Amino acid sequence: MDPLMDLALLVQHGENREAVLCAEKLLADSYSVEQVVDAVAKGVAILRNKCTVENFQLLDVLLACRAMTEVVDECVAIQLKHQLDASAGEHERAAGPPPWKTIVIGTIQGDVHDLGKHVMATLCRFNNLKVVNLGKDVPVENFVVAARKENADFVGVSSLMSVCLPKIKLIKPALAAQGLEHVKVIGGGSAVQQSTKEALRLDYLAYDAFDGLDYLCKIT
């Protein structure tokens, strides 16, 4: 059987540890991150049929989501981070001009997804911004402390979980309370996109990493 299909079936059946091991082997065998993500997506496609009123199987949904999350967090995100860090190091060694702006970026407290944030971080690096990546599950105060310490121009915050949105709206006032009103706050992620920049007190709501980068470049 196709190894990628094996991964899809493991995710679909909620076999989280086996799915992680399979994904690790695929990446070690030179399968791309994109291929692994596509296989995971196929594995959770069955959730659409399981999430109807007539046929709602909560346990199957939860198990498949757990498998998907662990593959992304333990394999895909780590692999991508290694690739991005290596690429960033090569980029920094290329003796280019110094960064022209600084962005502090992180996933808000309560959310441990950071794949999209890694994409945004590398786009910023390759467009000559200094990136301070705080990681995932970041409290509001950590954004503020880092913004002050790094003399940041921007704060980028992401979330895939709607329950975390109330914390995002606290970032801008917390910055203002420390005399950092000038720092622009940019939000992204599927949960953020369900709201508005006004409701979340954002300066900009990005619909994807490229949209966010466009905003950074346009306002400077």
User: What is the residue type of 151?
Assistant: N
Q: Check whether residue 57 and residue 104 sit in a common domain.
A: no
Q: Check whether residue 22 and residue 78 sit in a common domain.
A: yes
Specify the CATH number for the domain of residue 205. Answer: 3.40.50.280
Q: Check whether residue 109 and residue 191 sit in a common domain.
A: yes
Q: Check whether residue 104 and residue 201 sit in a common domain.
A: yes
Count: domains in the chain: 2
User: pLDDT tens digit string along 173-187?
Assistant: 999 999 999 999 999
Which residue range is the domain that position 61 belongs to? 3-89
Beta strands in 84-208 (DSSP E): 101-107, 129-133, 154-158, 184-188, 204-205
> Would the pTM count as exceeding 0.75?
no
Q: Check whether residue 53 and residue 113 sit in a common domain.
A: no
Q: Check whether residue 40 and residue 120 sit in a common domain.
A: no
Mean pLDDT (whole number) for 101-116: 87
The percent of residues above 90 in pLDDT, for the chain, comes to 42
Question: Which of 55, 89, 123 marks a domain boundary?
Answer: 89
| pLDDT at residue 20, as a whole number | 92
| pLDDT at residue 105, as a whole number | 96
Question: Whole-number mean pLDDT of the chain?
Answer: 83
| pLDDT at residue 97, as a whole number | 59
133 confidence band (pLDDT: 50, 70, 90): very high
Whether the Cβ atoms of residue 157 and residue 106 lie closer than 8 Å to each other: yes
**pLDDT tops 90 at residue 198:** yes
User: pLDDT tens digit string along 142-195?
Assistant: 999 999 999 999 999 999 888 999 999 999 999 999 999 999 999 998 889 889
211 confidence band (pLDDT: 50, 70, 90): confident
Pairwise pLDDT comparison (140 vs 117), residue with the higher score = 140
User: pLDDT tens digit string along 28-82?
Assistant: 998 988 788 888 878 877 666 555 545 556 677 678 878 877 887 778 777 766 6
Beta strands in 121-164 (DSSP E): 129-133, 154-158
Find all residues with CB under 8 Å of 132, minimum gap 6, and list them: 102, 103, 104, 105, 146, 150, 152
Q: What letter does residue 75 receive in the DSSP assignment? A: I
